[in-house]
Amino acid sequence: MKTPLPHLGFGTFRLEGQTAFDAVTMALNAGYRHLDTAQIYGNEQAVGDAIKASGIARAELFLTTKVWTDNLNHDAFIPSVEASLAKLGTDYVDLLLVHWPLNNHDVAMADYLSSLKKAQDMGLARHIGVSNFTVAQTEQAVSILGKGALLTNQFEVHPYLQNHKVVAKCKELGLIVTGYMPFAYGAVLKDPVIQAIAEKHGATAAQVVLAWMRQLGYVTIPSSTRQANIESNLKADSLELDATDLTDIAALDRGHRVANPDFAPEWD
């Protein structure tokens, strides 16, 4: 299925200031055209500066940002998106996400999803989606906006946390799965099964994980500050895992969650 969302993007979580600028610059030079940032990362300005300095036409890029929980109320939502666009140096993002669902009832989901849709209707975002939504929350979101309104649900996916229930619900409802933390902060890359598959194919452990996600139909957004890794990750596109490899990786699932802040929803 052809989608507007490139299957491999460059993530910028935990990258700030000059580090973010340099990493995004290396990623763009290497050939990445899908960049992922967020209001809470504090690096939208650096990402925007790197895009501007690259000279790459805006139309060639797929740019994602995410609205933070403090900005989900009606009065703050649209102004926060406009502030993000100003920092990014663009009139629109290709994808705008609600970064986390609210566990309290300060703002109803119907209200902040209405603001998300309004941002799209205003031309501030080409596509909209959600992030870190559970099965029930994904169902609720689709019931509010209608099937086909949301492009993706972005949540943690890697061989140690395969999130089958949320993945299945996304597929059922027509949402693309975007998996973040694909390497689980490097833990997965040290796994002997992953390393053995990498050796078998003459690939890196990271390339094996990225190929696995691509072959399952997921989008993913690895991050790195090292040029060699940034360039190497792009080469995962040429790696094809066989059925045995996929079966072996499927067996690695162990519920190992990396991103679990105190405001996280009750995970499936």
Q: Which of 32, 41, 112, 180 is catalytic?
A: 41
Geometric angle at alpha carbon 125, from 124 and 127, rounded to 5°: 160
Which residues have C-beta within 8 Å of that of residue 95, sequence separation ≥ 6? 5, 62, 63, 64, 65, 125, 126, 127, 128, 129, 151, 152
H-helix or E-strand spanning residue 229: helix 227-234
Separation CA 177–CA 59 (nearest Å): 23
The CA-atom distances, in angstroms, between 52 and each of 18, 39, 46 are 14, 19, 10
Active site residue 160: no
Separation CA 150–CA 175 (nearest Å): 7
H-helix or E-strand spanning residue 115: helix 109-121
Separation CA 215–CA 42 (nearest Å): 32
The answer to whether 99 is annotated as binding is yes
**Is-contact 126 150, C-beta < 8 A?**
no
Between helix 74-88 and helix 44-54 the angle, nearest 10°, is 30
Binding residues for substrate: 99
- For the annotated catalytic residues, the residue numbers are 41
